Chain A
Amino acid sequence: MKKSREPFRFFDRVHLTELTGIKAKNLKELVDILKNAPDSIVYYHTHHFLEEHHYLTPEPANDFAVWVSAILGDEVLGEKLASINAFEFPALGALRERIVNVMGEYISSGQELRKAPEGREFYFMKWVSVILPTPYAARDLREFVEALRKLSLGSLYFHIFESRLRLGKVTNDFSVWMKDSLEEQELAEAIEKVDPYTYTLEGVRSQLIKLIERRIK
């Protein structure tokens, strides 16, 4: 089994939710604020539920879709927003553009804009991420899969989602290491293809373990 010169070091990520004090009471306000909001706000509202509700199958949709459906009572637009697949977007800017476009088209179509009741407005929030080293490291696939079993969900989340979308890497950290350090091109690509948005976090872990174990055998 090939060993890498530099071990893969696992990091953990914990986060704190920061409130902006900004809120929208209808779709027009939502889209106007979103257009100029920092990436950290887009990231929070399209990802936080993946951690908070990771036990629910199916997982609830992104915050924009949930608010439009449940609070504004517009299930058609809600469905359109829920079906935007974040996995297809290489960066948060492109994801934001898609969301803004879907909302913009709806507003242009002249649909009646409903107002959220007081207290149920859309509250804009963002994440402050704190990245910490963990004691886990791996030089080969066997060590890697053993560590993968023990990782906190925050750690798994960091290497899969955060590194790609927030730290601007092309793909997830695991695939990068497997390609560059172990020359495991095929496995790296198979891991890249696992859409983390369609599984719970534990489901992602199981998929990765399965792929790596198959390779080790």
Chain B
Amino acid sequence: MSSAPIRQDTHQTEHDRLIAPGHDFGTVTDTISQIVLQRRTPLGWVLGFCISFAVLQLLLLAIVMLLFKGIGVWGVRIPVGWGFDIINFVWWIGIGHAGTLISAILLLLRQEWRTSINRFAEAMTLFAVSCAAFYPIFHTGRPWLAIYWLFPYPNTMGLWPNFRSPLIWDVFAVSTYATCSALFWFVGLIPDLATLRDRAKSKPWKIVYGILAMGWRGSARHWHNYETAYLLLAGLATPLVVSVHTVVSFDFATGIVPGWHATIFPPYFVAGAIYAGFAMVLTLAIPLRKFYKLEDFITLKHLENMAKVMLATGLIVAYGYMMEAFMGWYSGNKYERFMIWNRMTGPYWWAYWSLILCNVVSPNLLWIKNLRTSVPFLFGISFVVSIGMWLERFVIIVTSLHRDFLPSSWGMYAGTRWDWAAFIGTLGLFFTLLFLFVRFLPAISIFEMRTILPGAAGVEESK
């Protein structure tokens, strides 16, 4: 495929190229599709999948236990009526946001570097939303009896959901988000499924990919409509990035609970979601590029850009914490003041200060270029941020609830072993789905990678 002119860009250093030199349409296609089409499943994949699948069984066990015994197996007690279920729900939903940001907003902003990370970031979004969906469904205890107040459908009682409730808004926001993310992801996959169809060696896979590709043949007229659809979907997904976590934050902000009832919640939740999401993309991208030798496509430039987004959103989150503390004092309201003081020095002080360490102190290390471009450091900090964002939700939910207005209704909260089983189980679900995804679908968008190759434009580039 040497006939495709490849312009070797000599000004680019290793640090700022999006794709290693020496690639053309053929090699990009072969390298990425080979991961899916190779006959032999790598041993590391089998091992990783088996571990994830075993952990997933813990989720099933936790669900059986919950349905058998009831919600009492969880640690939620008055005054802390919301515990791990909502903490983990918000944590998972937040992680999903990076995928949509990368696929939609960065596309509209013409950020070319999104191209090699968007596909698996979108997959990550879908799987994170699946994990998140578990909690609101099962926290009702008997989901089959609870659907009528969550979804509007004609039921035998003649009742309808209360559309004034933020919990209903959440149902609409999250289900729309999940559906649109799935549509976006699938549309992006169509041309790559056609590539797999044309390159698969075995008949059964040719048929499977052929059905999924729906007869895509790369016609110029089709591409024209396709590009329009893709851009419009990006435009539609953009308000979703902002709205979903805004609506999630309304679950708290509309409640008259000190520590929740704050106007800063929507922007600060959205920034936190993107922050957590990019941390998870890094957690996944670093092993992916290593094990499948994709360093040519997911370069240091990509990792550094993600680190920069993390730094920026981390600073917004830090501002959010600062404002929460400031408003606690400035409001002059004694309950607000007590709440913030109790958060810092009360029985859960360790959670608050660990959160500050993880989310406010540690991302500032990303100012240093050497650390920002060190792969092991980024891998480490992505875990620190994920833990920090989990603690943030723990602090917001538990410390606001455990000290009620009257000292007679004070209490403490801790997750039970079944809370932990469900949480670890959703991690199993997440990684099981991810392992299946990288084995059977192209983890990097092949057709979009072709477009960023030098010499991909339809007209000769001017010298």
- A and B: bona fide binding partners: no
